[in-house]
């Protein structure tokens, strides 16, 4: 009998409560949350609640963390819960587990969803998942195979804060994160007093379009990204064309294409951040020639 949502929860519950692996679970918690790492943590909204953090830890501990003998805690749990053919089937699924960042291509109400990761498709069985995601969401989750092209989901899944367009989707395998790297991103660590931390992505907020374009031009020339070097009029025309159809995502995809080959998700985010800085400083003809930054400043000045 293949694993189901209920039996996966049984496995997770054993991993969370078993005294047999209490010591390993305690050590693993420190590793997952980075208790010994420098920096001040400020979680992104919607992922900071204690319960959601614990669920992410539980998913990682069950299906990614390795015990001293090399086994997943979930394998130990299965051995305690199941026997015979059920145990054999459960172990096969656990050993085939994957952690993916994939795009939701279809939601089957009351049943589950289909995920896409470049040339791979995953049919995930989960009534709860189908009620809490939408088409084009980006899902980060442990998934376990239960049949040909069918999977069940582990605890602690989440949707990525933004959606991806065709440009990023076509090379999404370059940007897969492991659960700990994902947690560090969600933690948004910043240096504490007297603490040196690794460099963070610069999210510039220039006060005018000329400064924003100058910043992009300097960075692009230094990195040899000539397609990101445009005149003021060219940038204004590009941004306004996307503003007309209210497609910031497509504008971001344009930036990604112009950036070309990148070596990390941080680098990709850097170019998108520089492009966003330009977007936020372009005057909008239908808004009294005020830029998004100016509109936001006026909104804040009214006490909102």
Q: Nearest to residue 78, comparing CAs of 156, 14, 6?
A: 14
Number of domains observed in the structure of the chain: 2
pLDDT in tens, 154-177: 999 999 988 888 888 888 998 899
Task: Return the number of other C-beta atoms located less than 10 Å from residue 6's C-beta.
Answer: 8
Q: Is the predicted pLDDT of residue 293 greater than 80, yes or no?
A: no
pLDDT in tens, 240-292: 988 877 677 778 888 988 998 887 767 877 888 898 889 889 998 877 888 87
- The residue-averaged pLDDT of 98-118 equals 96
Please indicate, yes or no, if residue 215 is contained in any of the structural domains. yes
Q: What is the pLDDT at residue 287?
A: 75
Please indicate, yes or no, if residue 196 is contained in any of the structural domains. no
On average, the pLDDT of the chain sits at 87
pLDDT in tens, 12-66: 999 988 888 988 998 899 899 988 888 788 888 778 787 889 999 999 999 999 9
Does one domain contain both 241 and 169? no
Phi, psi of 222 (to 5 degrees): -65, -30
Is there a contact between 60 and 54 (Cβ–Cβ < 8 Å)?
A: no
Please indicate, yes or no, if residue 195 is contained in any of the structural domains. no
Structural domain for 14, as ranges? 5-185
Does one domain contain both 181 and 213? no
Q: What's the CA gap between 161 and 138, in Å, rounded?
A: 8
Please indicate, yes or no, if residue 194 is contained in any of the structural domains. no
Q: Is the predicted pLDDT of residue 202 greater than 60, yes or no?
A: no
Does one domain contain both 161 and 223? no
- C-alpha torsion sign, points 92, 93, 94, 99: positive
Q: What is the pLDDT at residue 204?
A: 80
Residues in Cβ contact with 148 at an 8 Å cutoff, skipping those fewer than 6 apart: none
Does one domain contain both 180 and 242? no
Task: Return the number of other C-beta atoms located less than 10 Å from residue 268's C-beta.
Answer: 20
Q: What's the CA gap between 108 and 114, in Å, rounded?
A: 8
Does one domain contain both 218 and 134? no
pTM over 0.75: no
Please indicate, yes or no, if residue 198 is contained in any of the structural domains. no
DSSP 3-state of 244: helix
pLDDT in tens, 33-46: 988 888 788 888 77
Please indicate, yes or no, if residue 43 is contained in any of the structural domains. yes
Does one domain contain both 109 and 148? yes
Does one domain contain both 147 and 49? yes
pLDDT in tens, 120-143: 999 999 999 999 999 999 999 999
């Amino acid at each position: 009998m293949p694993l189901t949502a209920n039996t996966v929860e049984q496995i997770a519950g054993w991993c969370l409560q078993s005294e047999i692996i209490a010591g390993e679970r305690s050590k693993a918690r420190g590793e997952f949350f980075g208790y010994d790492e420098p920096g001040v943590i400020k979680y992104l909204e919607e992922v900071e609640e204690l319960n959601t953090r614990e669920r992410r830890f539980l998913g990682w501990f069950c299906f990614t963390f390795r015990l001293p003998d090399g086994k997943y805690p979930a394998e130990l749990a299965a051995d305690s819960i199941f026997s015979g053919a059920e145990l054999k089937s459960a172990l096969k699924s656990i050993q085939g587990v994957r952690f993916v960042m994939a795009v939701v291509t279809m939601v089957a109400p009351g049943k589950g969803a289909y995920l896409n990761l470049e040339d791979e498709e995953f049919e995930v069985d989960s009534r709860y998942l189908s009620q809490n995601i939408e088409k084009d969401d980006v899902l980060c989750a442990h998934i376990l195979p239960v049949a040909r092209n069918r999977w069940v989901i582990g605890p602690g899944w989440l949707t990525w804060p933004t959606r991806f367009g065709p440009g990023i989707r076509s090379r999404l395998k370059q940007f897969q994160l492991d659960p700990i790297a994902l947690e560090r991103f969600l933690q948004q660590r910043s240096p504490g007093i007297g603490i040196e931390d690794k460099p963070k992505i610069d999210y510039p907020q220039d006060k005018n379009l000329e400064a924003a374009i100058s910043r992009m031009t300097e960075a692009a020339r230094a990195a040899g990204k000539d397609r990101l070097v445009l005149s003021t009029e060219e940038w204004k025309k590009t941004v306004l064309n996307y503003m007309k159809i209210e497609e910031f995502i497509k504008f971001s995809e344009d930036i990604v294409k112009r950036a070309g080959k990148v070596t990390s998700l941080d680098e990709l985010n850097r170019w998108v951040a520089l492009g966003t800085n330009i977007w936020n400083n372009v005057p909008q003809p239908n808004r009294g020639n005020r830029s998004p930054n100016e509109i936001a400043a006026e909104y804040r000045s009214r006490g909102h």
